[in-house]
Amino acid sequence: MKPILSLVLAAAVITLSAPASAQFAKPEDAIKYRQNSMFVKSVHFGRIGAMVTGRIPFDAKAAVENADVVVVLAGQVMPGYGVGTEGGKAKPEIWKEQAKFKEMADVGLADAVKLAAAARTGNLDNLKAAFGPTAESCKGCHDAFRSR
Ligand code: ASC
């Protein structure tokens, strides 16, 4: 594992051990965090998408690096939606249907982990096979829980 990723993961573990209410100084920060996190995720996921569709050449090393960013951020979804942080594009259902929301977040993370594993095989067909389900997970959760 790269030193930088180890550091990010260590920071994530420390962050996760704090109660959700202590995650952000103010609710607007949680909203900003969610939106920026989603933007960064979409940039890195999008680069893999561009390889999968042939818009950019397949680069196995870049695929791994991009997938790893998606994994780290996909693992940080729940802390972004603590009690009292309603707002932004997040539907109120997120806080009313916590179990469903968490389940979708967990599936999203599992798919991202599979995407990173597929990237590590260095095989474009494996990357293609893992990309679709991950995109479906992203879309499914956005359709259910994000307002337009
Ligand atoms: C992205 C992005 C999303 C998802 C979704 C996948 O890159 O910004 O919201 O992928 O489009 O279906």
**pLDDT tens series, the chain, 148 aa:** 566 566 555 555 555 555 545 589 999 999 999 999 999 999 999 999 999 999 999 999 999 999 999 999 999 999 999 999 999 999 999 999 999 999 999 999 999 999 999 999 999 999 999 999 999 999 999 999 999 8
Residues in contact with ligand 1 (CB, 6 Å cut-off): 42, 45-46, 135, 138-139, 142
| Residues ≥6 apart with Cβ < 8 Å to 123 | none
Atom of ligand 1 nearest to the CA of 49: 7
Residue 116 CB: number of other CB atoms within 10 A? 23
Dist. CA 109–CA 111, nearest whole Å: 5
Which residue among 142, 145, 147, 148 is best mutated to probe the pocket of ligand 1, counting the most ligand atoms within 8 A of its Cβ? 142
Atom of ligand 1 nearest to the CA of 46: 7
Kindly give the distance from the C-alpha atom of residue 86 to the centroid of ligand 1, in angstroms, as a whole number. 22
Radius of gyration over alpha carbons of the chain, in Å?
Answer: 16
Kindly give the distance from the C-alpha atom of residue 146 to the centroid of ligand 1, in angstroms, as a whole number. 12
pTM of the model as a whole: 0.85
